[in-house]
Structure 1
């Protein structure tokens, strides 16, 4: 089956928001084994939206529209879809009651009249309740075998609705079972990973391997088509085992939902280790990643943002001699920062980042993108030197990923706990 994505909203075309919905849905469609050939963004314009939807209906089996289901006059997705399909809008009392309940919980001065527009649905549509907002999702099964799915634009409404209701619905439509597994790799680049699986991809038929490049990571999805789930699992398993053999410790998880920071927190917990962080150029991004993990409080003792030389001396006990002789961005300083953070907080582990994120401040000897990451564990200091490319934000993001990876490897390779 072929699927087509249409993202509705002038704010997308103007660049006011990043269209993360399309990226999320594209990945989910691939996971479902659906063929995605077209993806379009269109503004809040009736004529252009109708033209794009008409074209999509002529070439795709499933059309998923996101956005344009709000209460304002420029929210036209539902109305244009109904007109294009030759259907009417009708009031759904169930949705109207849900909208009333939603507003009664958050406001005390009545419900805006415009919001009742969201209680109108396309006749005959399957209504998907929105547990995080007021606009319901809709599934319209046309007489021609086409399916049109309307989802709200805000990701915090769209993603839960898709995972809870739309994914299972689409899964039931597939003629075969698709089973997939994810292998997540960090510490080596995309080109190195592709080089390592080129022979597998050249001869692949079923299952297939699809690489996805992330910031500092590469994810490999292994997918098999089969008549039964068990058959699919048996097809995928040897490929995953082969990938494990090839990439070894560069693989941090085969759990699709587990992030690198979650993996690190899990390792700290498993080994009864506590952590302190020390950051300069990343300014708290690393600590923030760790704090995002539920239960991080059991392993994270403290986080230091030591941007100036004075703060490095005062809070982390980095020696004045080190800073004068080697500078703030140096292997020696990164090591002392990591050790100082651990000792200052009585932690087992210290991880530190110091570097030049730019765009200014670089020299021939120390160019922008030079970053040192230090890890202190069991009285042993390990420091890695990195040369990242990109803008200031990208360099900082790469620094965080590689700091997590160094921390992960240090725990795995440590033999004294």
Structure 2
């Protein structure tokens, strides 16, 4: 399966077309307003799992503050915290962050305060790992292992269909599904209380909501499976209930994997349809990635390899989107936003390598230095010979 092409002569993406700021300001550094939130630029930090909770209680700590805070201080417009479980059984590993209790919310509040103090917006990705839960943290991982005998737990999914190499999950019944929706709602309330500016629902990368969306993992014949509108029901119910909880002014994002990269699986056309439905249900913005449902899907990884999917969904669904995946240079990111292919870009590994990527990109594109922390002003290239 190859990346989609887009129609020639299609109108540019709405936010890029309506970007505010002087005409000579690079598109990447024009603010974007989503509901009641203005974000200072289009360089965003995607959710990056850290597998670093030390007490195994889901509480973020100093590492998370420094990891996320450094990128906020480095000039990013929006900093999204990692996939954060809405319930203990929704964690990918027992070293993951959570937002199912007040202790976790209080710890996150310290982090959101710092991010805001640096001029960036903060967001959190609410997640349930489903059949891909209860695995070893990445840095401790043993191939094909689920530590059910070492503090693990029974996994759940849309159907009793295992992810390759992992144990068979238990199919959720009606009451269990309703509890998942309630867990997302409670976590969304705690996200508001913790001071986050954006909430994102994780419907990508083969985790629980994606498991309901894809016909490869959803074999149900009730109201939660079968035709597309049934497979999308869990996501749409989560979007509605989260919107009701966070109110009218807070942006609500959805992260999609736009394709399973497997014939007969979830694809960009279905993603576009469900994105329209999700927008009607209360979502504002769509973070477009790919893959994760099937192991060894043969994904053709390369520079910007997922960006065409973001462009496809944005144009066909008529929604605002961000692109992610091997976006590594200021010029590449600027082209994606300036062309209307995406309304923003998510840079993960590039910002892990250089938390000040946004400041460097501003220098390279001639966008000024407004996001520099005052403590670092004396290091600006403009006062140090012009070299980064």
Q: TM-score range by the shorter chain?
A: under 0.3
Q: Quick check: which one's helix share is greater?
A: 1
Greater RCO (Cα-Cα under 8 Å, separation 6 or more) = 2
TM-score of the aligned structures, taking structure 1 as reference length: 0.25
Q: Which has the larger radius of gyration?
A: 1
Q: Quick check: which one's strand share is greater?
A: 1
